[in-house]
Amino acid sequence: PFCSDKLEINTKLNSSPISSLFPFVSFDLTSSRGILYGINRHNNSLVLFDRFSMENYNSVTFAKAGAGKSYATKLEVLRSLMFGTDVIVIDPEREYEYLAETVGGRYFNISLTSKHHINPFDLPPAREDESPADVLRSNIINLVGLFRIMLGGLTPEEDSILDRAITETYASRDITPESDFSKTSPPILSDLELVLANMEGGESLAQRLRKYTEGTWAGFINQPTNVDVNKKLVVFSVRDMEDELRPIAIYLIIHHVWNVVRAVLKKRLLVVDEAWWLMKSEDGASFLFGIAKRCRKYYLGLATITQDVGDFLNSPYGKAIITNSSIQMLLKQSPATVDLLQQTFNLTDEEKFLMLESDVGEGIFFAGLKHVAIKILASYTEDQIITSDPAQLLAIKKAKEEYRQANLTE
């Protein structure tokens, strides 16, 4: 502690052993193109990167509540829009509404009483490299996964019956593997219920589906689709959805987005905030992992954000999603989760303590094999658009109201 060297014995070291004392692989993480993620805390250089230049376009972000993960994500969304990337966000806490309003995007509130609906039976038009049979088969598989979540699981017999019933439901609208269904109206959930009710062994499944077609939850999923995602930024809010239905809603939205992505090839980013909601069920986690594996083919980047590290990493698909993500961002962590992250990401003790002691918006940024300590940095204008601070939001709301009143009196 007194820095007193009474022995005065000196040993020369070359740069290799000296560098091993520094916990980060790279002092610099600056690409020739891309967006600004933040500042390198070691040397104040820019952390500038393009996710679409990596072997895959996916990212994961882990942080404790209030550590700045949504702020960092909104900042990336805003800057990605400037570079011509279409962005679709699943917003669990209505944090992206002002951002969507500011940039002229679309904001859909998905709830039991919402006027916005998504029909899970929608089918994308087949691309040149796909056959209608492939599209139909893929959609049926995804639908069975959705119904497993909705119905609280299926026995192997029920799984088989439901698969056959979905096929017959599509056939009732002249949608078959051999047909051109690009201009055919898809069925809705009540059509499937009717098929099951008249199918041997399907009566029980029809009864379990009835609460989604006639009961309290009928307005949620048993409607034709009326949302248009033809905007640079589209946000789906599930804040007002009941907790029991929230994983279903998120699965349904991602399923719809996946159909849109497969139909038209363009550079897109899908943001799934609080992804642990979907990771709570095996079918939801498997579906998200399937998107992470296949989305590069469709020029789609998947950004997965969560504060519940345990639920995410304890799923067998959680670590697989991390493996399929070229970018990882670890912001400030709690003592309860930091050991799990250290083990998963092979962090040194120095990096572990850095995540515990970081301020809001600080952490470690991984890109491929390189990683640096990062500080998220936004301009004043960007901060006003993306802030989640309640005091700032109240001040912005007050300023907007004063401006509106001033215009009314003129």
- Does residue 215 sit in the same domain as residue 143? yes
Domain end call among 196, 212, 229: 229
Query: Has residue 28 been placed in a domain?
Result: no
Residue 73 near residue 341, CB atoms below 8 Å: no
- Does residue 369 sit in the same domain as residue 256? yes
- Token pair listed for 273: 């905030």
Tokens 């809010």 sit at which residue?
237
Tokens 């055919």 sit at which residue?
184
Buried b (16+ CB within 10 A) or exposed e, 355-375: beebebbbbbbbbeeebbbbb
Q: How many residues does the chain have?
A: 410
Query: Has residue 11 been placed in a domain?
Result: no
- Does residue 60 sit in the same domain as residue 42? yes
CA distance 12 to 14: 7
- Does residue 262 sit in the same domain as residue 387? yes
CATH number of the domain that residue 354 is part of: 3.40.50.300
Query: Has residue 212 been placed in a domain?
Result: yes
Tokens 């011509």 sit at which residue?
84
Compute how many other C-beta atoms are within 10 angstroms of the C-beta atom of residue 347: 20
Compute how many other C-beta atoms are within 10 angstroms of the C-beta atom of residue 27: 13
Helix (H, G, I), strand (E, B) or coil at 346: coil
Give whole-number Cα distances, 29 to 45, 159, 350, 377, in Å. 8, 49, 19, 15
Query: Has residue 4 been placed in a domain?
Result: no
CA distance 129 to 141: 20
CA distance 223 to 230: 20
Domain end call among 229, 253, 276: 229
**pLDDT tens series, the chain, 410 aa:** 566 777 777 777 776 666 555 554 445 667 778 899 999 998 888 999 899 998 899 999 999 888 899 999 999 999 999 999 999 999 998 999 999 999 999 999 999 888 999 999 999 888 887 888 999 999 999 999 999 999 988 899 999 999 999 999 999 999 988 888 877 899 999 999 999 999 988 899 999 999 899 877 877 889 999 998 889 999 999 999 888 899 999 999 999 999 999 888 899 999 999 888 888 888 889 999 999 999 999 999 999 999 878 878 888 898 899 999 999 999 998 888 888 888 888 888 888 998 898 899 999 999 888 889 999 999 999 999 998 888 888 888 888 888 888 877 76
Helix (H) or strand (E) holding 272: strand 268-272
Domain end call among 229, 252, 284: 229
Query: Has residue 13 been placed in a domain?
Result: no
- Does residue 215 sit in the same domain as residue 258? no
- Does residue 278 sit in the same domain as residue 313? yes
Name 410's Cβ contacts closer than 8 Å, sequence gap at least 6.
none
- Does residue 161 sit in the same domain as residue 288? no
- Does residue 93 sit in the same domain as residue 69? yes
- Token pair listed for 298: 């469709």
Integer distance in angstroms from the first to the last C-alpha of the chain? 68
Residue 99 near residue 78, CB atoms below 8 Å: yes
- Does residue 285 sit in the same domain as residue 205? no
pLDDT at 15: 67
CATH number of the domain that residue 212 is part of: 1.10.8.730
Query: Has residue 377 been placed in a domain?
Result: yes
- Does residue 210 sit in the same domain as residue 70? no
Strand order in the sheet with 327-331: 46-49, 35-40, 370-375, 362-367, 327-331, 59-62, 300-306, 268-272, 86-91, 233-237, 106-109
- The whole-model pTM stands at 0.86
74 DSSP assignment: H
Name 273's Cβ contacts closer than 8 Å, sequence gap at least 6.
70, 73, 89, 90, 91, 92, 93, 95, 96, 305
- Does residue 136 sit in the same domain as residue 41? no
- Token pair listed for 130: 């796909």
Total number of domains in the chain: 2
Domain that residue 149 falls in: 130-229
Query: Has residue 238 been placed in a domain?
Result: yes
- Does residue 261 sit in the same domain as residue 393? yes
Query: Has residue 292 been placed in a domain?
Result: yes
